[in-house]
Amino acid sequence: MKKTLTYQRTIQYFLQGLLILGPVSITIYFIYIVFDKIDNILRPAINIPGLGFVIIIAFILLVGYLSSFFVMGRILSVLNKFLEKTPGIKLLYSFIRDFFEAFAGNKKKFTNNVLANVDDTDIWRVGFITQDDMTIFGMADYVAVYLPMAYSVAGNVYIVPKHKIRPITSISATQTMKFAVSGGVTQTISDIVDDPLAEDAMTKSFS
């Protein structure tokens, strides 16, 4: 009996240690991989660990700063139009540009979080409206909804009737994405308490 209790306690300690170290270790490893990949871009020209990473980050910040000036903005605009019209490149460039702008640009797409009913049953899926006008497809009362997959960067786009869309106003778009990608296991309520934006959304929804 004593051996059984000792065995169970050992397993419990192991699982507790795993729960603590698992997320921390994976996060640190991911940061290391990103750092190493960026740092390796300038190697072997610069073979000082960390210096390549600093230079690339500084260059990105410099480009972002210079783009706020009119002259630099015009140059980037000309370059943008050139790449958009270059055969064989425009498709790839447009896709990559739109992808980045959807997450970080002025045309952010994943901000309109909703519940979408894409089936005939009373089952609702978490998603984001990416286009609110589908008249180009001859569907005036429809919207395009992106539905992220759990534990994946992938997702699907559905054309859904507007009456099958319910806006999510109680939590922010960030919390909605976190909830969807985590498979619904994230502590959404706890996060709302710590998130001023989510708190504001919650207050507005009940006011």
* pTM attached to this predicted model: 0.60
What are the residue boundaries of the structural domains of the chain, listed by start?
113-206
The encoded tokens of residue 91 equal 């498709």
Tell me the per-residue pLDDT of 147-184, one tens digit each, with 9 for 90 and over.
999 887 788 999 999 999 999 998 888 888 888 888 88
Residue with tokens 């959807």: 102
Residue with tokens 């922010």: 172
Tell me the per-residue pLDDT of 113-142, one tens digit each, with 9 for 90 and over.
999 998 878 899 999 998 989 999 999 999
